[in-house]
A and B are shown apart, each in its own frame.
Chain A
Amino acid sequence: MSTAQTLTRPEPAAAAGRAAPPRRTRPASPLLSKGVVNGVLVAAMLWTVLPLTWLVIAATKGYADLYSTGGFEFARVRLWENLVELFTFGDGLFLRWLLNSFLYAGVGALASSLISVLAGYAFDKFRFPGKERWFGLVLLGVLVPAAVTTVPLYLMASDLGLTNSFWGVFLPGLASPFGVYLGRVFSSAYVPDELLEATRVDGAGELRTFWQIAFPLLRPAFATLFLFGFTGGWNAFFMPLLMLSDHQLYPVGLGLFMWRQLINTDQDLYYPLLMTGSLVAILPLIVAFFSLQRYWKAGLTAGAVK
């Protein structure tokens, strides 16, 4: 660290001694002008947005047009027909998958966020024996890779008869060590200790204090955890792939995957289903993301920058 300082030190001094240009009028470095900076940012943005644009356009096409017209040009727009086909195919199978995803990801994220906020709040505000050791266990849990638990979980579920059931996918996702860690960080940031002291002196019970005083203050934390849980649950693939074989129980991602496997059996049918289905499957994420965008950055940063 000290060497890094001594290495950089002489340079500015030398530069200053060499020319000492007047600061105000010094021309912007040609490599890094306003145009170049924003140009690179626009290029990066195009790279992130173009594949999604391609999906939007592909969702408006029939199978023949998908291959006979360019990826970024519109052919005959048949988005409505594609949507009707998507939601009526197989007695509304796709709608069923969407509902399943809302249960797995939506209800799952609600429950999981509540569990995390409760535990994080307890770690922040209460004194109990072995507290830091328990929290150490939580932090170790953050580092456990999904790879090591997935296969045994599948077998345990199969012993309990939970494979191919709602609970087999729903329950394993509820405990989030990272969520508890964030819950503790948020609780110390948003809930002042003095406030709790005051309510304790007033003789309010801890449960009532949590619900009426702390929880409203923790709502941003709850929203962040919910957003993470919802996207994580909606995007889960490996676990449902192992656990489920009944199509009726599939989350939307796994359902789309099944259609993709079937694609060569009837391309006219499955291509539009897959494209339009993928687009519709992303929409809830985009809605959740934009409606909760006030919170997501706070969550990302709290998790990464201590």
Chain B
Amino acid sequence: MPPTRSGLARRQYGVAALFTAPFFLLFFAFTLAPIGYGAWLSLHREQTSGLGLGGEPEQVFVGLDNFTRALTDGRFLGSFATVGVYCLVYIPIMIGIALLLALLLDSVYARAKRFFQLALYLPNIVPGLIAAMIWTYLYTPGLSPIIDALAKVGVPFNLGSDAGAVGAVANLTIWMHTGYNVIIFFAALQAVPREVIEASTVDGAGQIRIAWSVKAPMIRGAVVLAVLFTVIGAMQLFTEPFIVRDAATTIDQAWTPSLYIYQLTKAYDMGGAAAASLILTVVLAVASFLVTRFSKKGAAL
């Protein structure tokens, strides 16, 4: 019956609009509008006419000046270098440990799988701020059994060095995020068809070989997605170094791009902060593109 069908369809438009309206209204107001406003801000600079008193600050169009200012600021470029080094340390180790633990959990030998999953996931619900405070104390010589033990075996951990600062922050974020990825990888492994694994067992492949050559390639998609989200999160690193820098003196106010942006915001250089945010976003987009591109290339091999 076409008439009722079109009547039903029209009624659906209205209800669909009603159901999606709250989300889209908020999404426009608090995501899209700020992006547009940020783009506008990045092309302007606030100037106060007169001698301050009574002079209303006004926004003056400055073209790409804020961008050139950011891109020629050694501290901003340095923040990308730091975060790049941090990513190269943090991401392979974190994803590697998560994959290893997920494969171990999925192996026939593992016991108490549910318990281990819960325990490994636990740090992920601890606020970054509190995790950073805990680890800052655990990095303090004299307070920390770990640092003292390391010093005893001749591996002094110097939080005051550049490498020490990257290591301290990376260890903290590895601690926080590994369990989350273990759960995701483990769930993906559970979805690997059992026949495939049985077939390789019958072929005489050992457990390690099965884990590495059969199971791991089959959850490639989950791993690539995890790397993608990790890159996006890691490059926006803010809270952890913001806290750890109380103990790690080489972490300055422009250690990561987000810290740099925060410091500009606090200095009321909104044009500069908006331009730096957009540059960070472009770098994030390029990095995401490279991750997906690189993984596709790897898959084609």
Residues of chain A whose beta carbon lies under 8 Å from any beta carbon of chain B: 1, 3-4, 8, 11-13, 15-16, 20-21, 23, 28-29, 31-34, 36-38, 40-41, 44-45, 47-49, 51-52, 54-55, 58, 66-67, 70-72, 115-116, 118-119, 121-123, 126-129, 131, 134, 138, 141, 143-156, 171-172, 174-175, 177, 180, 200, 206-207, 210, 231, 234-235, 237-238, 242, 253, 256-257, 260, 274, 278, 281-282, 285-286, 289, 293, 297, 300-301, 304-306
Assuming the A-B contacts A119-B19, A151-B270, A175-B26, are A145 and B137 also in contact, with contact meaning beta carbons closer than 8 angstroms in the complex?
A: no
A51 touches B135 (CB 8 A): yes
A156 touches B33 (CB 8 A): yes
Question: B residues within 8 A CB of A147?
Answer: 236, 257-258, 261, 277, 280-281, 284
In the complex, whether B188 has a CB less than 8 A from a CB of chain A is: yes
Closest Cβ–Cβ distance, residue A240 to chain B (whole Å): 11
Closest to A251 in B: B127
Report the bound CA distance from A150 to B196 in whole Å.
Answer: 47
Question: B residues within 8 A CB of A4?
Answer: 217, 301
Assuming the A-B contacts A29-B207, A115-B22, are A282 and B30 also in contact, with contact meaning beta carbons closer than 8 angstroms in the complex?
A: no
B175 touches A128 (CB 8 A): no
Interface of B is mostly: helix
A300 touches B184 (CB 8 A): yes
Question: A residues within 8 A CB of B222?
Answer: 304-305
18 contacts between A and B (CB under 8 A): A15-B205, A20-B204, A32-B206, A37-B104, A47-B175, A48-B175, A48-B178, A118-B20, A141-B27, A149-B34, A151-B274, A153-B30, A175-B27, A206-B12, A237-B128, A237-B129, A278-B130, A282-B125
The B44-99 residues at the A interface (CB cut-off 8 A) are 97
* Residue from A126, A141, A156 in contact with B12 in the complex, judged by beta carbons closer than 8 Å: A126
Report the bound CA distance from A33 to B265 in whole Å.
Answer: 55
Report the bound CA distance from A174 to B25 in whole Å.
Answer: 10
Count, chain B residues at interface, CB 8 A = 106
Closest Cβ–Cβ distance, residue A263 to chain B (whole Å): 9
A119 touches B204 (CB 8 A): no
Question: B residues within 8 A CB of A55?
Answer: 130, 134
A305 touches B119 (CB 8 A): no
* Residue from A33, A115, A127, A242 in contact with B23 in the complex, judged by beta carbons closer than 8 Å: A115
Question: B residues within 8 A CB of A282?
Answer: 125-127, 130
B109 touches A116 (CB 8 A): no
A44 touches B120 (CB 8 A): yes
Interface of A is mostly: helix
Closest Cβ–Cβ distance, residue A112 to chain B (whole Å): 9
Closest to B10 in A: A128
Question: A residues within 8 A CB of B27?
Answer: 138, 141, 175, 177
B107 touches A148 (CB 8 A): no
Report the bound CA distance from A58 to B125 in whole Å.
Answer: 19
Question: A residues within 8 A CB of B13?
Answer: 126, 128-129
* Residue from B107, B213, B257, B284 in contact with A32 in the complex, judged by beta carbons closer than 8 Å: B107
Report the bound CA distance from A102 to B74 in whole Å.
Answer: 42
* Residue from A274, A281, A305 in contact with B184 in the complex, judged by beta carbons closer than 8 Å: A305
Report the bound CA distance from A237 to B242 in whole Å.
Answer: 11
Closest to A172 in B: B30
Report the bound CA distance from A125 to B209 in whole Å.
Answer: 45
Assuming the A-B contacts A147-B261, A174-B26, A300-B183, are A58 and B128 also in contact, with contact meaning beta carbons closer than 8 angstroms in the complex?
A: no
